[in-house]
A and B are shown apart, each in its own frame.
Chain A
Amino acid sequence: MAAQDSTQESRLGFSLGTDHISFEVDETVYPLEAVYGACYLFLEKCFVYLSRSATGAVDVRLTSREAASPAELDQLAGAFANELLSQVTRLRLSQATARIRDYYTAAALRAAASAPSVDDLLAELEAEELLEDPLEIMVPWEEKHGTKQDETEPK
């Protein structure tokens, strides 16, 4: 993704039709996920159609659902462009914090699901290594002398 710097302004061109606007969006600046994120928010107020006229660029056409003046279409273009910027920021933040979120989500789900049943506790005990039983009193005869059972994965 192209680096963004607050001092680096960019220009986003668009075409103004009678009832629609069209952008050619450079994917190196606005990744496809950001384009999708912005487009999704406009599904209610517009009809949205995506196509490609060049590699690495997405043509985004927003058609107003109602009759719209040039000024209203201009405003729509500004709103979409702002949302594109916002989506890129969200995407970058999301990617940079992916591991953080994975960690706390997994920890939270473990904690939320952690009230063990009696069966769960018994299963844990069975899976534990018998470190405190040097004479292997608790080990069944079959396990000591017969075919070794598959080891269960520790929790």
Chain B
Amino acid sequence: MEQRSLTLSPPELSEDALGFFRWGRVAGHVLVTNDAGDWARLSEAEFADLLAGRIADGHPRFAELQGKGFLRDGLDLDALAARMAQRNRHLRRGPYVHVVTLTVRGNAPAPALDAAGLDMTPETAAQVAEFVLQSTSPAVTVEFQGHTGEPLRNFDVLRHFVEVARTHNQRSTGKTLRLRVLSNFTALTEEIAEWLIANEVLVTTSLDGPAALHDWNRTWKEGSAHADVVRWLDYFQRRYAELGRDPAQWHVEALLTTTRRTLDAAREVVEEYATRGLQTLCLRPLDRARFDRDTWAAIGYTIEEYLEFYRRTIDHILEANRRGIVLAERTASIILTKMLTSDDPGAVDFQSPHGAGTGQIAYNVDGRIFPSDEARIVDAMGESFFELGHVRSLSIQDIVRHPTVRAIAAASLLDAQPMCADCWNKPFCGFSPVRNFITQGDLFGQRPHCVECKEHLAISTRLVELLTDDSDATRQETLKRWTAGSVHTPTDGRAFPESP
């Protein structure tokens, strides 16, 4: 074998002059971040100065880096701790997103259950409704869904659930109770629509782009044709307006399923969402593990292809905003909230530890409880590893303390994971151990192979590039508006529900 050698020049390091931070190279600069979520972009020379302890009073970056906690000189640990506590307030909140699967009936093959097991019963719904209100969170969101897309097939039970929940809440718990139904509109009628409006149940549906693209997706997943989706979208928007409801809260959300065909239609998808008056576009890659080989061959793609699509779509969305269209990208909104504020956007997939079981709980049609809807789907695929028990025999405290929930938390604490613990993106990131279980067979997963890691890092990188490009003030303002609470991006719900 040939012998060679490398000459290495270790950086000058004055570690006693520094606070703790992580770093990485982004767009030709060095990005430093700390546990409070503060960050700064440095040139290589400035980074060398930082490491060597040469950033002192008088240095052009001194005030900024000192204020953000990167320097030992003047380090305010209590302020740092306060910012961290704000970011981690979800730890004391209690489960705030409750995903209730009302039916497994649908056009696609259902799991092997007898007819009686296809729908949630009124009795189980009442138990779930009361269970949800045990949460210590002052506000809870209940999301109704169907296993294959249409909870309205069990509308009577949905109605019963809402009545029980509202009665119980008014009588005893007094929480802010938000209700949302994820419907593909295949079972929607005007009567049901009016009931949803009158009873303040928000609506999310599936819209995969312009008609040709949306309808092509219906060849492998169930759902309404584009024309029907648009008809109902218009119906709800019109009725909300007639009733004088605040459009900031009262509007239909839509979810996009990104398939191979979508990758070539970034502009068309954005224009479709803008045309329909939708305010949020949620971009997520398909989960390879949920599809058989033949289906994946038809609709799938690599993560690299997806990330290229993401970059192009973000550019189109920003261009639409320049034209006065209010449209935000959901994943970007979540990460921007973490980058630009000390708020927690409430997205369990971006929490450390992951919020499965502590922030989100999922309920199957038969009343069995899971730490997340993803975990419930694992059960539906035949692996009962994540089942926590039944709603009739557990309390919320049992859930939060359950060994499975603890294992998920331990596996997703970024400070304890190799690679994550050193990553500059750590304050803005999170991952799902349940997803690791699906794709790699264990909760922890080999980080370098995690698709979620590649996705989150690439998006954060792109956002930093955009935020630190001073050439376009309008774009900067748009990105700042996307932080949760500033724009019409729902925060008290799952970041990424399955498209109905």
Contacts and interface: CB of A to CB of B under 8 A. Distances in A.
User: Do A and B make up one complex?
Assistant: yes
Interface of A: 4-6, 8-17, 22, 36-37, 40-45, 70, 74, 77-78, 81-82, 84-85, 87-90, 92-97, 100-101, 103-105, 107-109, 111-115
Interface stretch (B55-63, B72-80, B197-205, B473-481): B72-80
B8 A9 contact: yes
A77 B4 contact: yes
- Those 10 A-B pairs whose CB atoms lie nearest each other, nearest first: A44-B448, A108-B84, A107-B81, A111-B85, A96-B15, A6-B12, A97-B20, A4-B10, A104-B81, A15-B1
Given A101-B35, A104-B84, A111-B85, A93 B13 contact: yes
A112 to B, nearest CB: 4
Contacts of B446: 43-44
A9 B9 contact: yes
B289 interface: no
B16 interface: yes
B449 interface: yes
Interface string B277-311: 00000000000000000000000000000000000
A100 B81 contact: no
Contact of A13 (B3, B13, B82): B3
Given A8-B10, A89-B10, A100 B3 contact: no
Nearest to A42: B448
Given A4-B10, A111-B82, A100 B448 contact: no
Contacts of A6: 9-12, 52
B18 interface: yes
Contacts of B81: 103-105, 107-108, 111
B20 A12 contact: no
A108 B448 contact: no
- By secondary structure, the B interface counts as mixed
B479 to A, nearest CB: 27
B173 interface: no
Contacts of A105: 35, 81, 84
19 contacts: A4-B12, A4-B13, A5-B12, A8-B10, A11-B8, A12-B8, A40-B448, A43-B448, A44-B446, A44-B449, A84-B8, A96-B18, A103-B77, A107-B77, A107-B85, A108-B80, A111-B81, A111-B85, A113-B92
Interface residues of B, number: 43
Contacts, number: 140
B2 interface: yes
Contacts of B321: none
A8 B75 CA distance: 31
Interface in B15-38: 15-16, 18-22, 35-36
Given A22-B1, A103-B81, 11 more contacts: A6-B12, A10-B10, A43-B446, A43-B448, A90-B422, A92-B15, A107-B78, A107-B81, A108-B80, A108-B81, A112-B85
Nearest to A94: B20
B187 interface: no
B243 interface: no
A43 B445 CA distance: 12
B1 A16 contact: yes
